Amino acid sequence: MGRAFEYRKARKLKRWGNMARTFTKLGKEIEIAVKAAGPDPGGNTRLRVLIQNAKAANMPKENVERAIKRAVSKDTADYKEMVYEGYAPFGIAMIIETATDNSTRTVANVRSYFNKAGGSLGTTGSVDFMFDHKCVFKITKVEGIDLDELELELIDCGVDEVFADENEIVIYGSFEAYGKIQKYIEDHNYELISGEFERIPLDTKEVTDEQRASIEKLIEKFEEDDDVTNVFHNMKELETDDAE
């Protein structure tokens, strides 16, 4: 198994732990997708995947419909996706992805969280080079499927890793390959569970238990902010049990 598999095994999708926060994140992403390409999932590839993500997260259908209606309403503020880079204490690199209708508020909050924890907000590109920006799709495992054959077929679409995980197949590819991979999945009638973007650290840093506790407090602070959609870092994750 490759680096993407090990990264995912360690994280175990921690950021999906809080249901209310997950719904807020998905609602904003749906609004952004609708404003970009319209409210019809048939003609909006990103929206189609986000609706599947919402279903996988057990987000009620009415929440999805409300997010779509908000996006087409002229009275609704536009959300912009902003990415911030910086360092947590002990030299841990962090990338904070946000969706905000007030970038002045958001950057002030992000800077404040860094400063209070003894870290610092950096400039664009200051830590981005330390991460691979990937897309990741999950499809339902099909009986008798040959993963090696599937991976060979998907290489031309920009895929670099395919593996089975519990009852699903996980497909990792380059950030730019998102559309091609989605099209392949739909054209071959695989059951799509979800499609997301992740930033995988090229290398991870060991920390002590005390340092980890301090950094995790900062991560929690970011994740509690309604403007924040994702937090990525290069701190070495504690191994988790597959049954977790």
Residue with the two structure tokens 């008798």: 144
For the record, the structure tokens of 19 come out as: 């249901």
Write down the pLDDT at residue 243. Answer: 39
pLDDT tens, per residue, the chain with 244 residues:
677 777 766 654 454 457 778 899 999 999 999 999 999 999 999 999 999 999 999 999 999 999 999 999 877 778 999 999 999 999 999 999 999 999 999 999 999 999 999 999 999 999 999 999 999 999 999 888 999 999 999 999 999 999 998 889 999 999 999 999 999 999 999 999 999 999 999 999 999 999 999 999 999 999 999 999 999 999 998 765 543 3
Residue 182 tokens read as: 């989605």
Distance (Å, whole) CA 230 – CA 102:
17
